[in-house]
Amino acid sequence: MIVPLVRAAADTSGGKAGPLGALLRAGLPVPDGFVVPLEAYRRAVVLRGRAPGPSGRSDGVRDRLESRALSAELLAALGPAVDGLGDVPLAVRSSADDEDTGQTSAAGRYESVLAVRGVAEVVKALRACWVSLHSSRPIGNRGPGAGSGHGDPAMAVIVQRLVDAEIAGVMFTPASEDDDTTIEASWGLGPSVVGGTVTPDSYRVATDGSIVRTIADKRTRIDRAGDRLRTSAVPTPDRSRPTLDNATTARLVQLGRQVAAVLGGPRDVEWAIAGGRIWALQARPITARPPGSTGAALGTSAALAGTPGSSGNATGPARIVRGPRDFALVRPGDILVCPFTDPAWTPLLRIAAGVVTQTGGILSHAAIVARELRIPAVLGVPDVTEKLRDGVTIAIDGDFGTVTTVGW
């Protein structure tokens, strides 16, 4: 009923846990933990041929997951497993069998709960992960071909020691021997980079070790404060201070090469640094690579410029969306202009002609989903929601990161 993370495999422990197990077996730095496997979820749901309801999920599944007591067998196993990790904060993370596949990243689709401590809180977080498989958000975002190919998707759950990161980010390992490694980094825990709530530093590292740096204005950070996460302002001197020195950048590149070698191909790696030690937190297939350009083309007269996030060009009305209350305003063909996106915004990206964000980098949620949907994206355009007028026609270039008003 409990699988040590070092023994995890995708067919029993889901798409996120399987690669982590392989990395641990290879001796790479992954926080210790265990997995509540797919079979435990299936036993809790007890589908047994129950037909999907009109919402696209089996009738009553969510209610059963929220209300039914966990089996005595699972509860008996959870206690020693949690105690074995020590009295430390934990990360409880989804590992569905349709997550982190070669076709879709499912970026942020399911629940993760950080800063969990003790068996009772682990049980609560475990339920949250299970239930997220049946929430309207993932069902609405689940595209054709999702799932394991064996019926309804199932959810395994990873429980790991939480890394109280001083610096965290994402790395794309090279697609070929002569390709660059791309790294994005910011202060604090990784959700700010993955979620696009901060524009991170960017590092492109060539095979000869040369580095092209773009140091961002990193205004906020996320840290653990007891049993919760806290977003705070970054002190002014640190906003423009580089997060990584050359030596640390080189260590990350080496870790990326090791991860790719173990898993058999290029990977999108989430990482964290605490006390000078680098940890790999996630390693999924790269479903679509970012544009090769690092900024606006020379000689352009673009009104606004940001980071190229997803290749292509689009022209259409700018639709300023500052939050969920504005979702209903978006129409097919609009250019979505917003502070950042999270998984709740994915249905908008499916109908938009392109996306422009105020914060975020090429490895954020908005960028990854835009590339998978093959729509252009321009990221990290300062104050773009204030500088553009709703409804004005704009042209965006996702290869060079430019935003231009049309007819002005």
Domains identified in the chain and CATH numbers: 3-161 (3.30.1490.20), 167-285 (3.30.470.20), 304-405 (3.50.30.10)
Q: What is the pLDDT of residue 46?
A: 66
Say which residues have a Cβ less than 8 Å from residue 340's Cβ, sequence separation at least 6: 195, 196, 197, 357, 358, 359, 360, 364, 365, 366
Tell me the longest C-alpha to C-alpha distance in the chain: 68
43 vs 232: CA distance, rounded Å: 41
Element (H, E) at 373: helix 365-373
Q: What is the pLDDT of residue 148?
A: 42
N-terminal to C-terminal alpha carbon distance within the chain: 64
Three-state secondary structure readout of 214-260 = ECCCCCEEEEEECCEEEEEECCHHHHCCCCCCHHHHHHHHHHHHHHH
What distances in angstroms separate CA 76 from CA 33, 83, 123, one per listed residue? 17, 12, 12
Q: What is the pLDDT of residue 138?
A: 45
Q: What is the pLDDT of residue 80?
A: 96
Is 365 part of the annotated catalytic residue set? yes
What distances in angstroms separate CA 194 from CA 2, 177, 282, 312, one per listed residue? 29, 26, 12, 22
Output the DSSP codes for 164-215: --SEEEEEEPPSSTTPPEEEEEEEB-THHHHTTSS--EEEEE-TTS-EEEE-
pTM assigned to the model: 0.86
Handedness of CA 76, 81, 83, 87 (dihedral sign): negative
* Token pair for 388: 């553009």
Closest CA to 90 of 32, 162, 157: 162
Q: What is the pLDDT of residue 49?
A: 42
Residues of the chain with pLDDT under 70: 46-68, 100-108, 135-151, 293-302, 408
Q: What is the pLDDT of residue 57?
A: 47
- CA angle centred on 240, ends 170 and 280, rounded to 5°: 20
143 vs 107: CA distance, rounded Å: 13
Active-site pick, 127, 142, 319, 365: 365
